[in-house]
Structure 1
Amino acid sequence: MENARPLPSYLVERYHGWKATKYKDNASWYRHLAQEGQHPRAMVISCCDSRVHVTSIFGADQGEFFLHRNIANLVPPYVTDGAQHGTSAAVEYAVTALKVAHVIVLGHSNCGGVKGCEEMCSGNAPALEEKTSFVGRWMDILRPGYERVKKIKDQTERTKALEKQAILVSLENLMTFPFVKEAVDKGNLTLHGLWHDIGEGGVEQFNAHKKAFESI
Protein backbone atom coordinates (compact mmCIF):
# COMPACT_ATOMS: atom_id res chain seq x y z
CA MET A 1 0.00 0.00 0.00
CA GLU A 2 1.88 3.03 -1.29
CA ASN A 3 0.07 5.54 0.94
CA ALA A 4 1.21 3.95 4.21
CA ARG A 5 3.88 5.92 6.05
CA PRO A 6 6.07 5.33 9.14
CA LEU A 7 4.64 6.25 12.52
CA PRO A 8 5.22 9.76 13.88
CA SER A 9 8.37 9.83 16.00
CA TYR A 10 6.52 10.64 19.24
CA LEU A 11 4.51 7.42 18.94
CA VAL A 12 7.64 5.39 18.26
CA GLU A 13 9.24 6.90 21.37
CA ARG A 14 6.19 6.08 23.46
CA TYR A 15 6.20 2.51 22.20
CA HIS A 16 9.83 2.01 23.19
CA GLY A 17 9.09 3.53 26.58
CA TRP A 18 6.20 1.08 27.11
CA LYS A 19 8.27 -1.89 25.94
CA ALA A 20 11.11 -0.99 28.33
CA THR A 21 8.85 -0.43 31.35
CA LYS A 22 5.31 -1.79 31.50
CA TYR A 23 5.93 -4.67 29.14
CA LYS A 24 9.25 -5.60 30.71
CA ASP A 25 7.73 -5.60 34.20
CA ASN A 26 4.81 -7.78 33.09
CA ALA A 27 6.32 -9.86 30.29
CA SER A 28 5.14 -13.17 31.75
CA TRP A 29 1.55 -11.93 31.87
CA TYR A 30 1.65 -10.80 28.24
CA ARG A 31 3.06 -14.18 27.21
CA HIS A 32 0.32 -15.89 29.18
CA LEU A 33 -2.33 -13.86 27.34
CA ALA A 34 -0.73 -14.70 23.99
CA GLN A 35 -0.59 -18.43 24.72
CA GLU A 36 -3.88 -18.93 26.55
CA GLY A 37 -6.07 -16.59 24.51
CA GLN A 38 -8.54 -14.07 25.85
CA HIS A 39 -11.21 -14.77 28.45
CA PRO A 40 -12.77 -11.40 29.24
CA ARG A 41 -15.65 -11.32 31.70
CA ALA A 42 -17.25 -8.26 30.13
CA MET A 43 -17.76 -6.53 26.82
CA VAL A 44 -17.80 -2.74 26.87
CA ILE A 45 -19.41 -0.78 24.04
CA SER A 46 -18.23 2.80 24.31
CA CYS A 47 -17.83 5.91 22.17
CA CYS A 48 -14.86 6.60 19.91
CA ASP A 49 -14.34 9.85 21.82
CA SER A 50 -10.66 10.10 22.78
CA ARG A 51 -11.59 11.49 26.21
CA VAL A 52 -13.31 8.25 27.26
CA HIS A 53 -10.66 5.85 28.54
CA VAL A 54 -12.55 2.76 29.61
CA THR A 55 -9.67 0.75 31.04
CA SER A 56 -8.52 3.70 33.16
CA ILE A 57 -12.00 4.35 34.56
CA PHE A 58 -12.26 0.79 35.83
CA GLY A 59 -8.57 0.13 36.46
CA ALA A 60 -8.64 -2.77 34.02
CA ASP A 61 -5.64 -4.72 32.78
CA GLN A 62 -5.10 -6.35 29.41
CA GLY A 63 -7.45 -9.27 28.90
CA GLU A 64 -10.23 -8.01 31.20
CA PHE A 65 -12.49 -6.18 28.73
CA PHE A 66 -13.57 -7.01 25.21
CA LEU A 67 -13.81 -3.47 23.86
CA HIS A 68 -15.81 -2.11 20.96
CA ARG A 69 -15.97 1.59 20.17
CA ASN A 70 -18.14 3.48 17.71
CA ILE A 71 -19.72 6.91 17.28
CA ALA A 72 -22.01 7.57 20.28
CA ASN A 73 -21.73 4.03 21.69
CA LEU A 74 -24.69 2.81 19.65
CA VAL A 75 -25.92 -0.72 18.99
CA PRO A 76 -28.13 -1.06 15.90
CA PRO A 77 -31.19 -3.31 15.82
CA TYR A 78 -30.69 -6.94 14.78
CA VAL A 79 -30.88 -7.24 10.99
CA THR A 80 -29.55 -9.86 8.57
CA ASP A 81 -29.42 -8.08 5.24
CA GLY A 82 -26.05 -9.34 4.05
CA ALA A 83 -24.37 -5.98 4.66
CA GLN A 84 -21.28 -5.42 6.80
CA HIS A 85 -22.14 -4.82 10.44
CA GLY A 86 -19.09 -4.19 12.62
CA THR A 87 -20.90 -3.56 15.90
CA SER A 88 -23.25 -6.49 15.44
CA ALA A 89 -20.31 -8.76 14.62
CA ALA A 90 -18.50 -7.66 17.78
CA VAL A 91 -21.59 -8.37 19.90
CA GLU A 92 -22.03 -11.78 18.30
CA TYR A 93 -18.41 -12.73 18.92
CA ALA A 94 -18.46 -11.52 22.52
CA VAL A 95 -21.67 -13.34 23.43
CA THR A 96 -21.44 -16.55 21.41
CA ALA A 97 -17.68 -17.18 21.22
CA LEU A 98 -16.19 -15.48 24.27
CA LYS A 99 -19.25 -16.12 26.47
CA VAL A 100 -18.90 -12.82 28.31
CA ALA A 101 -21.00 -12.52 31.46
CA HIS A 102 -21.71 -8.79 31.05
CA VAL A 103 -22.31 -6.35 28.20
CA ILE A 104 -21.84 -2.74 29.29
CA VAL A 105 -22.96 0.22 27.16
CA LEU A 106 -20.98 3.26 28.30
CA GLY A 107 -22.14 6.70 27.19
CA HIS A 108 -20.66 10.04 28.21
CA SER A 109 -21.12 13.78 28.56
CA ASN A 110 -20.43 16.25 25.75
CA CYS A 111 -20.79 13.56 23.09
CA GLY A 112 -20.27 15.03 19.63
CA GLY A 113 -22.16 12.23 17.91
CA VAL A 114 -25.21 12.71 20.10
CA LYS A 115 -25.07 16.47 19.58
CA GLY A 116 -24.93 15.87 15.84
CA CYS A 117 -27.99 13.64 16.05
CA GLU A 118 -29.86 16.32 17.96
CA GLU A 119 -29.00 18.94 15.35
CA MET A 120 -29.85 16.58 12.48
CA CYS A 121 -33.21 15.55 13.91
CA SER A 122 -34.14 19.18 14.60
CA GLY A 123 -33.31 20.15 11.01
CA ASN A 124 -30.14 22.09 11.77
CA ALA A 125 -27.56 19.76 10.21
CA PRO A 126 -28.48 19.23 6.55
CA ALA A 127 -25.09 17.67 5.77
CA LEU A 128 -25.86 14.81 8.15
CA GLU A 129 -29.18 14.20 6.42
CA GLU A 130 -27.46 13.44 3.13
CA LYS A 131 -27.59 9.78 2.12
CA THR A 132 -23.81 9.88 1.67
CA SER A 133 -23.17 10.82 5.31
CA PHE A 134 -21.92 7.76 7.18
CA VAL A 135 -22.25 9.62 10.49
CA GLY A 136 -25.79 10.73 9.73
CA ARG A 137 -26.99 7.28 8.72
CA TRP A 138 -25.35 5.81 11.81
CA MET A 139 -27.04 8.40 14.03
CA ASP A 140 -30.41 7.39 12.58
CA ILE A 141 -30.21 4.60 15.16
CA LEU A 142 -30.79 7.26 17.82
CA ARG A 143 -33.83 8.90 16.22
CA PRO A 144 -36.28 7.01 18.48
CA GLY A 145 -34.39 8.40 21.47
CA TYR A 146 -34.65 11.93 20.10
CA GLU A 147 -38.41 11.56 19.77
CA ARG A 148 -38.58 10.79 23.49
CA VAL A 149 -36.70 13.90 24.60
CA LYS A 150 -37.39 16.49 21.90
CA LYS A 151 -39.99 18.32 24.00
CA ILE A 152 -37.48 19.14 26.75
CA LYS A 153 -37.17 22.92 26.46
CA ASP A 154 -33.77 23.44 28.09
CA GLN A 155 -31.16 22.58 25.46
CA THR A 156 -28.50 21.47 27.95
CA GLU A 157 -30.94 19.12 29.67
CA ARG A 158 -32.25 17.86 26.32
CA THR A 159 -28.74 17.02 25.11
CA LYS A 160 -27.88 15.26 28.36
CA ALA A 161 -31.13 13.30 28.16
CA LEU A 162 -30.33 12.29 24.59
CA GLU A 163 -26.87 11.08 25.68
CA LYS A 164 -28.63 8.75 28.08
CA GLN A 165 -31.12 7.74 25.41
CA ALA A 166 -28.16 6.57 23.32
CA ILE A 167 -27.48 4.10 26.10
CA LEU A 168 -31.10 3.00 26.51
CA VAL A 169 -31.73 2.63 22.78
CA SER A 170 -28.62 0.47 22.55
CA LEU A 171 -29.77 -1.73 25.45
CA GLU A 172 -33.16 -2.12 23.80
CA ASN A 173 -31.54 -3.01 20.48
CA LEU A 174 -29.26 -5.55 22.14
CA MET A 175 -32.33 -7.50 23.21
CA THR A 176 -33.39 -7.81 19.55
CA PHE A 177 -30.39 -10.10 18.96
CA PRO A 178 -31.69 -13.67 19.46
CA PHE A 179 -28.45 -14.92 21.01
CA VAL A 180 -28.34 -11.98 23.43
CA LYS A 181 -31.95 -12.49 24.50
CA GLU A 182 -31.38 -16.21 24.96
CA ALA A 183 -28.29 -15.63 27.12
CA VAL A 184 -30.11 -13.00 29.21
CA ASP A 185 -33.18 -15.21 29.65
CA LYS A 186 -31.00 -18.11 30.79
CA GLY A 187 -29.20 -15.92 33.31
CA ASN A 188 -25.85 -16.28 31.55
CA LEU A 189 -25.61 -12.62 30.54
CA THR A 190 -26.49 -9.29 32.15
CA LEU A 191 -26.77 -5.94 30.39
CA HIS A 192 -25.66 -2.67 31.97
CA GLY A 193 -26.08 0.98 30.99
CA LEU A 194 -23.58 3.57 32.24
CA TRP A 195 -23.15 7.30 31.66
CA HIS A 196 -19.79 8.94 32.35
CA ASP A 197 -19.35 12.62 33.24
CA ILE A 198 -15.96 13.43 31.70
CA GLY A 199 -15.35 16.67 33.57
CA GLU A 200 -16.42 15.48 37.01
CA GLY A 201 -15.24 11.89 36.69
CA GLY A 202 -18.64 10.58 37.75
CA VAL A 203 -20.38 7.42 36.55
CA GLU A 204 -24.13 6.81 36.66
CA GLN A 205 -25.83 3.49 36.03
CA PHE A 206 -29.35 2.85 34.80
CA ASN A 207 -31.67 1.43 37.44
CA ALA A 208 -34.33 -0.54 35.55
CA HIS A 209 -36.67 -0.64 38.55
CA LYS A 210 -36.60 3.13 39.01
CA LYS A 211 -36.28 3.78 35.27
CA ALA A 212 -33.60 6.35 36.02
CA PHE A 213 -29.84 6.81 36.10
CA GLU A 214 -28.19 7.06 39.52
CA SER A 215 -24.63 7.57 40.72
CA ILE A 216 -22.56 4.52 41.58
Structure 2
Amino acid sequence: MSNDNEPRAHASAFPERLIEGYQAFLGTRLANEQKRYEELATVGQSPRILLIGCCDSRVSPEVIFDAGPGEIFVLRNVANLVPPYRPNDDYHGTSSALEFAVMGLRVEHVVVLGHAQCGGVKAYAEGEADPYKRPLSPGDFIGGWMRLIAPAAERIGPPTQPLPDYVEKLAKESIKQSLVNLRTFPWVKNLEDRGILHLHGAYFGVATGKLLALDEGHGTFVPIAEEQHAAVTAQPRF
Protein backbone atom coordinates (compact mmCIF):
# COMPACT_ATOMS: atom_id res chain seq x y z
CA MET A 1 0.00 0.00 0.00
CA SER A 2 1.48 3.34 -1.04
CA ASN A 3 2.00 6.16 1.38
CA ASP A 4 -0.08 9.22 0.42
CA ASN A 5 2.56 11.45 1.97
CA GLU A 6 5.43 10.00 -0.07
CA PRO A 7 5.16 12.29 -3.13
CA ARG A 8 4.93 15.33 -0.90
CA ALA A 9 7.98 14.21 1.06
CA HIS A 10 9.98 13.88 -2.13
CA ALA A 11 8.83 17.30 -3.31
CA SER A 12 9.89 18.89 -0.05
CA ALA A 13 13.48 17.87 -0.80
CA PHE A 14 13.40 20.01 -3.94
CA PRO A 15 15.29 23.31 -3.39
CA GLU A 16 12.94 25.84 -1.83
CA ARG A 17 14.45 28.66 -3.89
CA LEU A 18 13.47 26.87 -7.09
CA ILE A 19 9.94 26.25 -5.84
CA GLU A 20 9.58 29.95 -5.05
CA GLY A 21 11.00 30.88 -8.43
CA TYR A 22 8.64 28.55 -10.24
CA GLN A 23 5.69 30.00 -8.36
CA ALA A 24 6.74 33.47 -9.46
CA PHE A 25 7.08 32.18 -13.03
CA LEU A 26 3.53 30.83 -12.90
CA GLY A 27 2.18 34.20 -11.79
CA THR A 28 4.17 36.33 -14.23
CA ARG A 29 5.88 34.93 -17.29
CA LEU A 30 3.69 31.88 -17.86
CA ALA A 31 0.55 33.89 -17.24
CA ASN A 32 1.69 36.52 -19.74
CA GLU A 33 3.30 34.27 -22.34
CA GLN A 34 1.31 31.03 -22.23
CA LYS A 35 0.40 31.29 -25.91
CA ARG A 36 4.07 31.74 -26.76
CA TYR A 37 5.00 28.56 -24.88
CA GLU A 38 2.19 26.65 -26.58
CA GLU A 39 3.44 27.88 -29.97
CA LEU A 40 7.02 26.86 -29.18
CA ALA A 41 5.83 23.40 -28.11
CA THR A 42 3.87 22.99 -31.34
CA VAL A 43 6.14 24.45 -34.03
CA GLY A 44 9.50 24.14 -32.29
CA GLN A 45 12.23 26.68 -31.68
CA SER A 46 13.79 28.94 -34.29
CA PRO A 47 16.25 31.24 -32.50
CA ARG A 48 18.44 33.44 -34.67
CA ILE A 49 21.27 33.69 -32.15
CA LEU A 50 23.54 31.13 -30.51
CA LEU A 51 25.16 32.59 -27.42
CA ILE A 52 28.14 30.78 -25.90
CA GLY A 53 28.44 31.92 -22.30
CA CYS A 54 30.06 30.94 -19.04
CA CYS A 55 28.50 28.71 -16.36
CA ASP A 56 29.05 31.52 -13.85
CA SER A 57 25.75 32.13 -12.05
CA ARG A 58 26.33 35.88 -12.11
CA VAL A 59 26.21 36.08 -15.91
CA SER A 60 22.82 34.96 -17.19
CA PRO A 61 22.45 35.69 -20.92
CA GLU A 62 18.65 35.66 -20.76
CA VAL A 63 18.73 38.32 -18.05
CA ILE A 64 21.45 40.48 -19.64
CA PHE A 65 19.70 40.54 -23.02
CA ASP A 66 16.12 40.52 -21.68
CA ALA A 67 15.34 37.43 -23.77
CA GLY A 68 12.00 35.69 -23.87
CA PRO A 69 11.43 31.96 -24.40
CA GLY A 70 12.76 30.67 -27.70
CA GLU A 71 14.73 33.81 -28.57
CA ILE A 72 18.32 32.75 -27.83
CA PHE A 73 19.92 29.31 -28.04
CA VAL A 74 22.28 29.37 -25.04
CA LEU A 75 25.32 27.15 -24.61
CA ARG A 76 27.17 27.55 -21.32
CA ASN A 77 30.44 25.97 -20.20
CA VAL A 78 33.34 26.89 -17.95
CA ALA A 79 34.85 30.17 -19.23
CA ASN A 80 32.73 30.27 -22.42
CA LEU A 81 35.32 28.37 -24.45
CA VAL A 82 35.05 26.81 -27.88
CA PRO A 83 37.41 23.92 -28.65
CA PRO A 84 38.89 23.52 -32.12
CA TYR A 85 37.29 21.17 -34.63
CA ARG A 86 38.39 17.64 -33.71
CA PRO A 87 36.03 14.92 -34.94
CA ASN A 88 36.92 11.84 -32.89
CA ASP A 89 35.40 9.50 -30.29
CA ASP A 90 35.77 11.92 -27.37
CA TYR A 91 32.75 13.56 -25.76
CA HIS A 92 32.01 16.86 -27.48
CA GLY A 93 29.27 18.68 -25.59
CA THR A 94 30.18 22.15 -26.81
CA SER A 95 30.87 21.06 -30.38
CA SER A 96 27.62 19.09 -30.61
CA ALA A 97 25.57 22.05 -29.35
CA LEU A 98 27.36 24.28 -31.86
CA GLU A 99 26.64 21.79 -34.62
CA PHE A 100 22.95 21.63 -33.73
CA ALA A 101 22.55 25.40 -33.49
CA VAL A 102 24.35 26.16 -36.75
CA MET A 103 23.42 23.21 -38.94
CA GLY A 104 20.11 22.23 -37.32
CA LEU A 105 18.55 25.49 -36.19
CA ARG A 106 20.42 27.57 -38.78
CA VAL A 107 21.17 30.45 -36.46
CA GLU A 108 22.46 33.62 -38.10
CA HIS A 109 24.73 34.81 -35.30
CA VAL A 110 27.15 33.14 -32.89
CA VAL A 111 28.17 35.28 -29.91
CA VAL A 112 30.95 34.34 -27.50
CA LEU A 113 30.18 36.18 -24.26
CA GLY A 114 33.01 36.43 -21.74
CA HIS A 115 32.88 38.27 -18.44
CA ALA A 116 34.88 39.92 -15.69
CA GLN A 117 36.12 37.95 -12.66
CA CYS A 118 35.89 34.63 -14.52
CA GLY A 119 36.83 31.80 -12.15
CA GLY A 120 37.99 29.49 -14.92
CA VAL A 121 40.38 32.05 -16.40
CA LYS A 122 41.58 32.90 -12.90
CA ALA A 123 42.29 29.22 -12.19
CA TYR A 124 44.38 28.96 -15.35
CA ALA A 125 46.34 32.12 -14.55
CA GLU A 126 46.97 31.04 -10.96
CA GLY A 127 48.15 27.65 -12.16
CA GLU A 128 50.61 29.29 -14.52
CA ALA A 129 51.82 31.68 -11.83
CA ASP A 130 52.14 28.97 -9.17
CA PRO A 131 53.25 25.54 -10.48
CA TYR A 132 52.57 24.04 -7.02
CA LYS A 133 48.88 24.90 -7.14
CA ARG A 134 46.80 21.74 -6.97
CA PRO A 135 43.65 20.98 -8.98
CA LEU A 136 40.23 20.86 -7.34
CA SER A 137 40.03 17.08 -7.77
CA PRO A 138 42.25 14.23 -9.02
CA GLY A 139 40.45 14.36 -12.37
CA ASP A 140 41.43 18.01 -12.91
CA PHE A 141 38.62 18.42 -15.43
CA ILE A 142 38.76 22.21 -15.19
CA GLY A 143 42.52 22.22 -15.68
CA GLY A 144 42.25 20.09 -18.81
CA TRP A 145 39.43 22.21 -20.20
CA MET A 146 41.15 25.52 -19.46
CA ARG A 147 44.21 24.49 -21.43
CA LEU A 148 42.16 25.53 -24.44
CA ILE A 149 43.16 29.13 -23.72
CA ALA A 150 46.89 28.34 -23.81
CA PRO A 151 47.26 29.95 -27.28
CA ALA A 152 45.64 33.13 -25.94
CA ALA A 153 47.98 33.11 -22.94
CA GLU A 154 50.99 32.68 -25.23
CA ARG A 155 50.00 35.78 -27.16
CA ILE A 156 49.84 38.04 -24.09
CA GLY A 157 52.73 36.46 -22.23
CA PRO A 158 53.10 34.86 -18.76
CA PRO A 159 51.09 36.06 -15.74
CA THR A 160 51.99 39.49 -14.42
CA GLN A 161 51.07 41.41 -11.28
CA PRO A 162 48.56 42.51 -10.27
CA LEU A 163 47.11 39.15 -11.23
CA PRO A 164 43.45 40.35 -11.45
CA ASP A 165 44.45 42.75 -14.25
CA TYR A 166 46.16 39.92 -16.09
CA VAL A 167 43.08 37.69 -15.66
CA GLU A 168 40.85 40.37 -17.25
CA LYS A 169 43.27 40.73 -20.15
CA LEU A 170 43.43 36.97 -20.62
CA ALA A 171 39.64 36.65 -20.47
CA LYS A 172 39.28 39.06 -23.38
CA GLU A 173 42.05 37.38 -25.35
CA SER A 174 40.40 33.99 -24.81
CA ILE A 175 37.24 35.32 -26.48
CA LYS A 176 39.33 36.03 -29.56
CA GLN A 177 40.77 32.52 -29.36
CA SER A 178 37.30 31.00 -29.24
CA LEU A 179 36.46 32.87 -32.45
CA VAL A 180 39.61 31.46 -34.00
CA ASN A 181 38.55 27.97 -32.92
CA LEU A 182 35.02 28.49 -34.24
CA ARG A 183 36.46 29.08 -37.69
CA THR A 184 38.19 25.69 -37.62
CA PHE A 185 34.75 24.08 -37.99
CA PRO A 186 34.41 23.72 -41.79
CA TRP A 187 30.71 24.48 -41.89
CA VAL A 188 31.10 27.55 -39.66
CA LYS A 189 33.83 28.99 -41.87
CA ASN A 190 31.92 28.15 -45.04
CA LEU A 191 28.75 29.89 -43.83
CA GLU A 192 30.68 32.89 -42.54
CA ASP A 193 32.58 33.24 -45.81
CA ARG A 194 29.25 33.24 -47.64
CA GLY A 195 27.83 35.93 -45.37
CA ILE A 196 25.16 33.63 -43.95
CA LEU A 197 26.64 33.28 -40.46
CA HIS A 198 28.14 36.07 -38.36
CA LEU A 199 30.55 35.62 -35.43
CA HIS A 200 30.82 38.04 -32.53
CA GLY A 201 32.73 38.46 -29.29
CA ALA A 202 31.43 40.30 -26.22
CA TYR A 203 32.48 40.98 -22.64
CA PHE A 204 30.24 41.72 -19.63
CA GLY A 205 31.30 43.56 -16.50
CA VAL A 206 29.72 41.83 -13.52
CA ALA A 207 30.13 44.74 -11.10
CA THR A 208 29.32 47.49 -13.59
CA GLY A 209 26.82 45.86 -15.93
CA LYS A 210 28.79 47.30 -18.85
CA LEU A 211 28.70 45.37 -22.12
CA LEU A 212 31.57 45.50 -24.61
CA ALA A 213 31.56 44.13 -28.15
CA LEU A 214 34.68 43.00 -29.98
CA ASP A 215 35.76 45.00 -33.00
CA GLU A 216 37.75 42.25 -34.71
CA GLY A 217 39.18 44.63 -37.28
CA HIS A 218 41.01 46.59 -34.59
CA GLY A 219 41.21 43.84 -31.97
CA THR A 220 39.55 46.04 -29.36
CA PHE A 221 36.38 45.91 -27.28
CA VAL A 222 33.97 48.83 -27.62
CA PRO A 223 31.05 49.71 -25.34
CA ILE A 224 27.44 49.00 -26.29
CA ALA A 225 24.70 51.53 -25.37
CA GLU A 226 27.35 53.55 -23.55
CA GLU A 227 25.27 56.67 -22.98
CA GLN A 228 22.31 54.72 -21.64
CA HIS A 229 24.57 52.73 -19.32
CA ALA A 230 26.15 55.94 -18.01
CA ALA A 231 22.74 57.47 -17.38
CA VAL A 232 21.46 54.43 -15.51
CA THR A 233 24.54 54.00 -13.32
CA ALA A 234 24.64 57.73 -12.53
CA GLN A 235 21.21 57.61 -10.92
CA PRO A 236 21.30 57.81 -7.11
CA ARG A 237 20.72 54.55 -5.25
CA PHE A 238 18.68 54.40 -2.07
Instruction: Tell me if TM exceeds 0.5.
Output: yes
Match of residue 49, structure 2, among 7, 29, 42: 42
CA distance in 2, matches of 1:24, 1:152: 51
Q: Check 1:125–1:32 CA distance in 2 against 1; reply closer, same or farther (3 A cut).
A: farther
Contact 1:130 1:136 in 2 (8 A): no
In the other structure, the counterpart of 1:59 is 66
Note if contact 1:121-1:146 (Cα within 8 Å) is conserved in structure 2: no
The question of 1:29 aligning with 2:40 is answered no
Equivalent residue number for residue 200 of structure 2: 192
Measure how far apart 1:56 and its partner are: 1.6
The root-mean-square deviation of aligned C-alpha atoms, in Å, is 1.9
Which residue in the other structure is 1:68 paired with? 75
Aligned length: 213
Structure 1 residue 143 and structure 2 residue 150: aligned?
yes
Tell me what 1:162 maps to.
170
Q: Which has the higher contact order (CA 8 A, sep 6+)?
A: 1
Identity of aligned residues (%): 39
- Is 2:126 the partner of 1:113? no
Aligned-partner residue type, residue 70 of structure 2 = G
- Aligned equivalent of 2:95: 88
Structure 1 pair 88/140, CA: closer, same or farther in 2 (3 Å)? same
Q: Which runs of 5+ in 1 are unaligned?
A: none
Matched, 1:204 2:212: yes
Query: Deviating runs (4+, > 3 A) in structure 1?
Result: 123-126, 128-131, 151-154
Taking a change above 3 Å as real, the CA distance of residues 153 and 135 of structure 1, as seen in their structure-2 partners, is: closer
Larger radius of gyration: 2
SS at match of 2:134: helix
TM-score by length of 2: 0.84
Q: Could you report, residue by residue, the CA deviation over 1:124-180 in whole angstroms, capped at 9, with x for unpaired residues? A: 463239872100000010111111223574433311110101211110000000110
TM-score normalised per structure 1: 0.92
